[in-house]
């Protein structure tokens, strides 16, 4: 298996200007007739090499004459001696019901649907399946009228009719040339929600949402979210929708979250269906943000697309940034920012420290599906955000306008994007653009030195870029660091010089110094405000200075982060076996910080979350997993005990009357449930948990009670879980929460539990949501079970992956991630993990998805 390299990109030798597809749907033998208008792009006499996999070829014709001068290979079809411009007709047959990989055309609960990004279209027909070939699509679908009343494809429906054999047909036309990865087809029987959106220029757009029969009411929120997204993109970026109709279909079997196919988004039902009874606040949030994300792709992804898949962050980093800005405008900037940073610190930092480390624009890929990563998406969004910080909102908007002016209708590169941004202001982005090519998490260290003789304090900011698995040589980056400085009385002070802007300093060399003359030695630097760059920060602040920061910093994120740093420090004392290092004044300071924030449930709720085990791992080496996990637990317990009276008051004051999904209630509810989880460390929590569970009128509180019960004890947990299962046993989407809670439970018989869960009537190995809920939750979040000292957790995952890989390599490859992230652990544990990775690599039939990750992790 050889990797493809970014630097080997070559423009296609042929292009396809038009494609007419004709589908005759059948569960096991769907016929696909494809008629392509092909044009040679260069003068060479090259053969036409089309991509195609898992296809049964029935017929090839050129300009209406049968054509025989071709070879079929493992990966496609090579046609020799073809003319410079011609019509190519290819007839293939596919088997949707056997397609368990969920790429190409497959059946999801009786619904025909497609997933083509990145390279699924080649499982439908032979084609130039690459994003830089843009064609106009016409799609005819013929199917059984009774069972498939709805048949959809991209663009607008232009003709339809019935046949005498009980089938009907419809013809769709998409006026916008597009790459094959944006093609979609859906056919089935749905409940439908409809609405209209009038764009800012007065054009009326039909909105249509298709959900499983009986789920109409659960789709209402998504439809409203869509309208909010459409309005927001007009207001903030001046971007209007461009077709007459926008459709969203929810399907139950889906590898990813959702897919932005032109005019016809296909969604994992998890990110469409939501109502008070069945969805948590977090679910509502995710639905709104994924709806927005896919909608925003219409411009950043579809109108301007990627030249090649190495450029994936061009559309994903940018679109994640856009959906983050939207979510922040819809609710609250602080909790949004914290959510984003948690993803970075828990998952992206881990990836960047692992063998899968790659720049946001990767250089080498074996299986593209492996690169839909937190690095490409979330670190990619952080890189866009830094540009936004540097250019300012206006400069950024000007750059975006220029990007669309230059590239609408084109397939372009990350360099093209940066160049458009460059044109907007005088800020030189040359050095900055290194963020696209360099992997790894930079470390930034803040240190102080005071010279009494000259009464001068020097703050030294050092950046360090360590070698990663994929790159041994590193360069200094261009890091925008938001920073403020507090004097002992809490007043702000400014350095003598050296700031790029108020509260912003640029680190563009190994060491940057800021000095304070005549202001004494007692100055606290508050660095990385709003998480202005995706870096790991270390500093010489004392525990009391973190508390000082919490009291006086202007930046809300820095205030939250100060408490997190302090927790981290405290947990370290437990981990080192000397919790007595945490003096009374620190416990007292934490108490007062919480007490002083009672009127702000948003920051309070976030501050009462102790850093996750995964986050704690990112700043440590040679970790003793169980000791660290226990240190974290014991600290949480002692914290809860120390402030139990206060926590009770907060719990009681954050009770809302009747449920609504709106920012103030969401913050208050979150605060209440975070407090309940902490209180679950103490005996008094039992009544609170039971009462909240039985009195709850919404899923957030129900789930909050279950999580607290999981923390509290096994008896209570099992009782409530059984009750929950009775109520929701026929609702797989809700039951996923139940599966996940069982799979993350800290208990010695966890593997037996997992085996039972796999036998549950609602579990299905074919369904990615179920698999993620059971196996994914266990591998990613069950610290004690997954990391069992005898290696049984690793073995369990490996056994499962060996099975799953045969049907769905894409999902298997996602779930192997925790096993590949052994770098921070003690050597004996690394050996156990590598042992299981070797078992995977020994499997001769391993998919290239798993092969790529496993072989790197063992290198
Ligand atoms: N392009 C999709 C998304 O991120 C993933 N396939 O929206
Ligand atoms: Zn996306």
329-375 residue pLDDT tens: 999 999 999 999 999 999 999 999 999 999 999 999 999 999 999 99
pLDDT in the model for residue 1: 87
Ligand 1 within 6 A of CB of 316: yes
Q: Counting atoms of ligand 1 from 1, which one is nearest the CA of 297?
A: 7
> How many Å lie between the centroid of ligand 2 and the Cα of residue 64?
39
Ligand 1 within 6 A of CB of 258: yes
Report domain 306-436's class.
mainly alpha
- pLDDT tens string 233-263: 999 999 999 999 999 999 999 999 999 999 9
Which of 113, 118, 258 is the best mutation target for the ligand 1 pocket, counting ligand atoms within 8 Å of the beta carbon and taking the most? 258
- The domain ranges of the chain are 4-189, 306-436, 541-682, 729-859
Mean pLDDT for all residues in the chain? 98
Task: Please state the rounded mean pLDDT for residues 444-471.
Answer: 98
* Residue whose CA is at the smallest distance from ligand 1 atom 2: 259
> How many Å lie between the centroid of ligand 2 and the Cα of residue 271?
13
Can 294 be counted among the known catalytic residues? yes
- pLDDT tens string 686-734: 999 999 999 999 999 999 999 999 999 999 999 999 999 999 999 999 9
pLDDT of residue 569 exceeding 80: yes
Q: Is residue 562 within 8 Å of 546, Cβ to Cβ? A: yes
pLDDT of residue 834 exceeding 80: yes
Quote the percentage of the chain above a pLDDT of 90.
Answer: 99
Segment (H or E) for 318: helix 312-330
Q: Is residue 351 within 8 Å of 375, Cβ to Cβ? A: yes
- pLDDT tens string 84-127: 999 999 999 999 999 999 999 999 999 999 999 999 999 999 99
pLDDT of residue 83 exceeding 80: yes
Ligand 1 within 6 A of CB of 260: yes
Ligand 1 within 6 A of CB of 639: no
Helix 792-807 with 827-841: angle, nearest 10 deg: 30
Q: Model's pTM, two decimal places?
A: 0.99
Which of 119, 259, 309 is the best mutation target for the ligand 1 pocket, counting ligand atoms within 8 Å of the beta carbon and taking the most? 259
Return d(Cα 195, Cα 248) in angstroms, integer: 12
pLDDT in the model for residue 471: 98
* Residue whose CA is at the smallest distance from ligand 1 atom 1: 259
Length in residues, the chain? 859
Q: Is residue 334 within 8 Å of 603, Cβ to Cβ? A: yes
Ranges of beta strands (E only) in 296-378 are 305-306, 364-365
Per CATH, the architecture of 729-859 is what? Alpha Horseshoe (1.25)
pLDDT of residue 42 exceeding 90: no
CATH topology of domain 4-189: Immunoglobulin-like (2.60.40)
- Largest Cα–Cα distance in the chain? 99
Residue ranges near ligand 2 (ion) with Cβ within 5 Å: 316, 319
Q: Does domain 541-682 have CATH number 3.40.50.2020?
A: no
Return d(Cα 694, Cα 343) in angstroms, integer: 32
CA atoms within 13 A on the CB side of 356: 30
Task: Please state the rounded mean pLDDT for residues 226-238.
Answer: 99
Return d(Cα 340, Cα 674) in angstroms, integer: 18
pLDDT in the model for residue 811: 98
Ligand nearest the Cα atom of residue 323 = 2
Q: How confident is the model at residue 644 (pLDDT cuts 50, 70, 90)?
A: very high
> How many Å lie between the centroid of ligand 2 and the Cα of residue 313?
9
> How many Å lie between the centroid of ligand 2 and the Cα of residue 707?
30
pLDDT of residue 656 exceeding 90: no
- Burial class from Cβ neighbours inside 10 Å (0-12, 13-18, 19+) for residue 580 reads exposed
pLDDT of residue 680 exceeding 90: yes
Q: Counting atoms of ligand 1 from 1, which one is nearest the CA of 320?
A: 4
* Residue whose CA is at the smallest distance from ligand 1 atom 6: 259
Q: Is residue 495 within 8 Å of 516, Cβ to Cβ? A: yes
Ligand 1 within 6 A of CB of 294: yes
> How many Å lie between the centroid of ligand 1 and the Cα of residue 647?
41
- Tokens of residue 122, six digits: 């080649």
Ligand 1 within 6 A of CB of 117: yes
Q: Which of 103, 119, 294, 382 is catalytic?
A: 294
- pLDDT tens string 142-178: 999 999 999 999 999 999 999 999 999 999 999 999 9
Q: Is residue 50 within 8 Å of 67, Cβ to Cβ? A: no
Please tell me if the domain spanning 4-189 has the same topology as the one spanning 729-859. no
Ligand nearest the Cα atom of residue 317 = 2
Ligand nearest the Cα atom of residue 260 = 1
Ligand 1 within 6 A of CB of 256: yes
> Of 256, 377, 375, which Cα lies nearest the Cα of 808?
256
Return d(Cα 534, Cα 561) in angstroms, integer: 14
- Sign of the CA dihedral running 338, 344, 347, 349: negative
pLDDT in the model for residue 197: 99
> Of 281, 234, 225, which Cα lies nearest the Cα of 258?
225
> How many Å lie between the centroid of ligand 1 and the Cα of residue 111?
20
> How many Å lie between the centroid of ligand 1 and the Cα of residue 639?
41
pLDDT in the model for residue 43: 74
């Amino acid at each position: 298996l050889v990797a493809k390299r970014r630097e080997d990109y070559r423009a296609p030798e042929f292009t396809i200007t038009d494609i007419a597809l004709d589908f005759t749907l059948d569960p096991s033998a769907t016929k696909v007739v494809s008629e392509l208008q092909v044009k040679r792009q260069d003068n060479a006499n090259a053969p036409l090499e089309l991509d195609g996999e898992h296809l049964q070829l029935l017929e090839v014709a050129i300009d209406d004459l049968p054509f025989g001068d071709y070879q079929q290979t493992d990966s496609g079809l090579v046609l020799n001696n073809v003319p410079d411009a011609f019509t190519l007709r290819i007839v293939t047959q596919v088997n949707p019901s056997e397609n368990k990989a969920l790429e190409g055309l497959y059946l999801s609960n009786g619904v025909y649907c497609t997933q083509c990004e990145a390279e699924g279209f080649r499982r439908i027909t032979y084609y130039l399946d690459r994003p830089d070939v843009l064609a106009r699509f016409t799609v005819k679908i013929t199917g059984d009228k009774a069972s498939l009343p709805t048949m959809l494809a991209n663009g607008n429906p232009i003709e339809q009719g019935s046949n005498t054999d009980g089938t009907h047909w419809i013809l769709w036309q998409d006026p916008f040339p597009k790459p094959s990865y944006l093609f979609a087809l859906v056919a089935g029987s749905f409940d439908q929600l409809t609405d209209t959106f009038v764009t800012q220029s007065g054009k009326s757009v039909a909105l249509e949402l298709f959900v499983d029969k009986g789920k109409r009411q659960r789709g209402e929120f998504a439809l409203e979210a869509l309208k909010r997204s459409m309005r927001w993109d007009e207001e903030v970026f001046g971007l209007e929708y461009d077709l007459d109709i926008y459709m969203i279909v929810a399907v139950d079997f889906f590898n990813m979250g959702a897919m932005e196919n032109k005019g016809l988004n296909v969604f994992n039902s998890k990110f469409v269906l939501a109502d008070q009874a069945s969805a948590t606040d977090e679910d509502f949030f995710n639905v709104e943000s994924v709806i927005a994300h896919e909608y925003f792709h219409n411009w950043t992804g579809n109108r301007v697309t990627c030249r090649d898949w190495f450029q994936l962050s061009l559309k994903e980093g940018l679109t994640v940034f856009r959906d983050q800005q939207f979510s922040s405008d819809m609710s609250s900037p602080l909790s949004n920012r914290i959510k984003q940073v948690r993803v970075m610190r828990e998952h992206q930092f881990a990836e960047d420290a692992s063998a899968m480390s790659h720049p946001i624009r990767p250089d080498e890929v074996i299986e593209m599906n492996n690169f839909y990563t937190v690095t490409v998406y979330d670190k990619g969004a952080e890189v866009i955000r830094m540009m936004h910080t540097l250019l300012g909102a206006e400069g950024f908007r000007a750059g975006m306008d220029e990007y669309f002016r230059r590239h609408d209708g084109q397939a372009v590169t990350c360099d093209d994007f940066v160049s458009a941004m460059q044109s907007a202001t005088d800020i030189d982005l040359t050095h900055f653009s290194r963020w696209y090519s360099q992997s790894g998490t930079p470390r930034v260290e803040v240190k102080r030195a005071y010279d009494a003789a000259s009464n001068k304090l020097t703050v030294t900011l050092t950046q360090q870029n360590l070698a990663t698995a994929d790159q041994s040589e590193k360069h200094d980056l261009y890091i925008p660091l938001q920073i403020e400085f507090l004097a002992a009385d809490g007043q702000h002070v400014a350095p003598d010089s050296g700031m790029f802007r108020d509260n912003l300093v640029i680190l563009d060399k190994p060491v940057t110094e800021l000095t304070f003359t005549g202001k004494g030695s007692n100055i606290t630097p508050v660095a990385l405000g709003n998480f202005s760059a995706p870096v790991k920060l270390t500093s010489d602040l004392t525990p009391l200075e973190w508390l000082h920061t919490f009291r006086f910093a202007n930046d809300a994120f820095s205030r939250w982060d100060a408490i997190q740093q302090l927790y981290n420090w405290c947990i370290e004392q437990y981990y080192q076996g000397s919790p007595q290092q945490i003096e009374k004044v620190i416990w007292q300071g934490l108490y007062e910080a919480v007490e002083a924030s009672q009127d702000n449930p948003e920051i309070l709720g976030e501050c009462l979350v102790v850093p996750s085990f995964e986050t704690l791992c990112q700043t440590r080496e040679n970790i003793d997993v169980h000791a660290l996990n226990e240190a974290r637990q014991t600290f949480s317990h002692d914290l809860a005990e120390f402030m139990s009276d206060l926590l009770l008051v907060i719990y009681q004051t954050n009770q809302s009357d009747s449920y609504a999904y709106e920012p103030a209630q969401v913050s208050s509810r979150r605060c209440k449930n975070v407090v309940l989880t902490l209180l679950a460390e103490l005996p008094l929590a039992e009544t609170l948990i039971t009462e909240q569970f039985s009195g709850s009128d919404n899923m957030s509180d129900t789930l909050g009670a279950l999580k607290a019960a999981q923390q509290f004890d096994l008896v209570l947990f099992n009782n409530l879980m059984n009750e929950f299962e009775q109520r929701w046993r026929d609702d797989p989407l809700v039951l996923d929460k139940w599966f996940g809670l069982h799979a993350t439970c800290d208990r010695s018989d966890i593997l037996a539990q997992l085996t039972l869960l796999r036998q549950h009537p609602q579990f299905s190995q074919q369904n990615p949501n179920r698999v993620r809920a059971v196996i994914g939750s266990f591998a990613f979040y069950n610290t004690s079970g997954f990391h069992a000292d005898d290696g049984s957790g690793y073995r369990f995952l490996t056994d499962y992956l060996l099975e799953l890989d045969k049907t769905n390599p894409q999902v298997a490859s996602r779930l192997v991630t925790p096993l590949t992230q052994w770098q921070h652990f003690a050597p004996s544990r690394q050996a156990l993990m590598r042992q299981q990775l070797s078992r995977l690599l020994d499997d001769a039939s391993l998919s290239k998805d798993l092969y790529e990750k496993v072989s790197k992790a063992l290198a």
